[in-house]
Chains A and B, each alone.
Chain A
Amino acid sequence: MNLATYARRNLFRRRGRTILTMAAVMICVLILCLLRTVVVAWNAGADAAATDRLATRHKVSITMQLPQRYIEELRQVPGVKAATWANWFGAKDPKERVPFFAGFAVDHNTWFDVQDEMLVPPDQLAAWKQTPNGAILGDVLAKTLAVKVGDRVVITSDIYPGDWQFQVSGIYTPLRKSVDRNTFVFRWDFLNNDPRAVYSKDHLGWMVSRVTDSARSADISRQIDAKFDIHEDQTLTMTERAFALSFLGGFAAILRAFDLVSLVILLIMTLILANTVAMAVRERTHEYGVLRAIGFPPGYIRGFILGESVLVAVVGGLIGVAFVYLVINKMVGPALEENMSGLFPYFRAPASVLIGALVAATGLGIVAAIVPAMRASRLKVTDALRRVD
């Protein structure tokens, strides 16, 4: 019998405890990866957003609108290549199949030129321009509402009273992962001509512009706001992503909470590993005395204790990471990407998260064992042998 055999047999001397500890490490790794993946996915959304697009809104309030003539003035700002606009419709599905989706009244002549990552087949786009009450839906939304091109669809609004009848002119598909596939757009002139929209008559919700050089977007933003500064309705221009996020401000707070919970998970993992090590060392102190008495140096004792703890942590971590790969990357991720593509265009646990979790588990395996290992190796042989625990 050599030392490796001794170590291997020790590992499964208390089989139940070893398996339970591995299971606990596995669960901690799983939760840790999940939390970190959300953080990474959130930041990935920021990276995937178009950087050459700016949103211009009313400076005072998100609910205030801009005069229609602003769009022409915006198009004259140097560096602005193209511009379009939209009004928030507060769309709701009367049958409540979707809890929430974005509904915009948009300019049918320019919207899809600026939002060119929403791909609409040319014939559908042409048909839409001929259909005053035509609407174009994201592919996921069309599936949920069970409509296809040519169908009628009734939408209600939080802002404008009554039922609104639309005809589905087209269905857009995303060219980029960051595109929300649950958006409903229809023609702004249809809304503007309706007597129910008298309060927003000839007004724009916000304007979206595409700039020639995305590196200059901060500069162009300032120029846009300066242009409207002399008017009664002043503007606030920001990147399209920042604009979208201003409606989801609470989400940043969640990410901070996630950091705290990640720390809690790491602490729990350490406590469980330390407990297992402490129990094992207590049971085996007598044996360590024997090993020392027959001539093994203290380093071996340290090695046994540290090695066993790290091994348990690594095996548990590996199983956890494998599980994460299966659950997040194969099941949860694809589902989230389809349904919440606006928030999480790419929801997969990246290698950095998986490796990070494994490194954390290994490191904590060492941390948990270091004190018991030092103490056991320093124990006097006679004291250890006297221990009958």
Chain B
Amino acid sequence: MVPLRYNARSLLVRKITTLATALGIALVVFVFAGALMFNAGVTHALATAGRADTAMILRKGSDAELTSAIGNDYLGLFRGPSQVSQAGGMIGEIIVVVTADHADGSGVSNVLVRGTPTNGIAFRPEIKITRGRAPTPGTNEAIVGQSIAGRFTGMTTGGSFNLRRNSPLTIVGEFSAGGSSYESEVWSDLDYVRNSLGRQAVVSSARVRLNSPADFDAYRLAIETDKRFSMKVMRESDYYEKQSQQTAGFFTGMGLALAIMTSIAAMIGAAITMNGAIAHRSREIGTLRALGFSRRAILTSFLIEALLLAVAGGVIGSIAVLSLTLISVPLINFVTFSEIVIRFHATPGVFIAALIFSGGMGLLGGLVPAIRASRVSPIEAMRG
């Protein structure tokens, strides 16, 4: 095999060309990895909201909490099956999406308000009060998720906003929820919220903690076949997974499509560079062949050179894309129509994918030139 140092040095000799090509690939990788990091951000926010050992109950026919309504009387029945964890228990909550003004005056958006019972916060151990205090049950006090605290008029500790005329919610604190989409919600008392909405006797959804994730199928069967009501049971983690797909799928798909289209241009760039390198070095290639390196060794060597070039670009792009983790973008959750704040999320998988993607660009762009190099006739090449 031709030593790797030969390729590395060849790339370094032609600084401008190498840099231009690598930067082109870096830009494509930036778009590609950016789309993946966005997707990872949405998945992280929504997936960490759901647990595998929690069953979520909606009215049959509803796909989301927002459109579901369950009569209060049924709640007790959901605790019946033996799979329900006695310690974990059950909560029924009401969801409403309220119109809120952006604090910076950039217009209105929707915010999800969750009316939760007294044990609602304890039901989710990841909830931590980061500022102020927890709301007093039975009052109009509320806490706001730290992702949206301050983003909307009145939605900050000490602020207040109307749930309906003369039904204000007073924010007494802020909370974190392990980076999940709960951090883009406002939580208050179940009864206060539903009284304000005039929906005293209903909840939007119920969540039931099971003894173990494996109990889900049995529990689901028990509830869905119960003749007294008509309900739909989903694993809480699946519910949020579906939401994240619906929300992020469109944007991620568009980002990846753009990255793939631009990658064609970058691949052509790599091909131009490798073609030039080979035309320029035909005498060297002839010499290598004369020294006894096989056609295959030459092919491999130039493919490796293209790979090195592209992966260098991939590394530059991956480093540059890390800057995106500093920004967070508001996104409309397509299922709840409410605004959630997404942070670009860097995972090892994103960078592995980015490096493979850049390597692929290098190999595809370098393939034809490398084949040409391997076909160089030693005699003709050395004759000049």
Contacts and interface: CB of A to CB of B under 8 A. Distances in A.
A267 B61 CA distance: 50
Interface residues of A, number: 54
A271 B271 contact: no
Contact of A14 (B59, B108, B279): B279
A61 B97 contact: yes
Contacts of A234: 165
Contact of A265 (B62, B255, B262): B262
B265 A27 contact: yes
A169 B224 CA distance: 37
A24 B109 CA distance: 41
B332 interface: yes
A268 B265 contact: yes
Interface string B259-272: 00110111011011
B24 interface: yes
Interface in A222-280: 231-234, 236, 246-250, 253-254, 257, 261, 264-265, 267-269, 271-272, 274-276, 278-279
B282 interface: no
A173 interface: no
Contact of A31 (B23, B96, B258, B271): B258
A247 B97 CA distance: 12
Interface in B150-174: 162-165
A157 interface: yes
A108 B334 CA distance: 30
A272 B162 contact: no
Contacts of A321: none
Contact of A271 (B21, B64, B110, B329): B21
A158 B61 contact: yes
B261 A275 contact: no
Interface in B65-109: 66-67, 69, 96-99, 108-109
B99 A60 contact: yes
A64 interface: yes
B110 A267 contact: no
Contacts of A90: 67
Contact of A274 (B20, B67, B199, B337): B20
A62 B21 contact: no
Contact of B269 (A159, A248, A250, A268): A268
A162 B62 CA distance: 11
A21 interface: yes
A154 to B, nearest CB: 13
Contacts of A6: none
Interface of B: 16-17, 20-21, 23-24, 27-28, 30-31, 59-64, 66-67, 69, 96-99, 108-110, 162-165, 197, 199, 230, 251, 254-255, 258, 261-262, 264-266, 268-269, 271-273, 275-276, 279-280, 329-332, 334, 337, 339
23 contacts: A17-B272, A20-B275, A31-B261, A35-B258, A60-B162, A60-B163, A62-B99, A232-B164, A234-B165, A246-B110, A249-B109, A250-B332, A253-B329, A253-B330, A264-B30, A268-B24, A271-B21, A272-B20, A272-B268, A272-B272, A275-B269, A278-B17, A278-B20
Interface of A: 14, 16-17, 20-21, 23-24, 27-28, 30-31, 35, 59-64, 90, 156-162, 199, 231-234, 236, 246-250, 253-254, 257, 261, 264-265, 267-269, 271-272, 274-276, 278-279, 283
Sort A-B residue pairs by CB-CB distance and give the 8 closest, nearest first: A275-B20, A24-B268, A250-B332, A249-B332, A271-B24, A272-B269, A271-B20, A27-B265
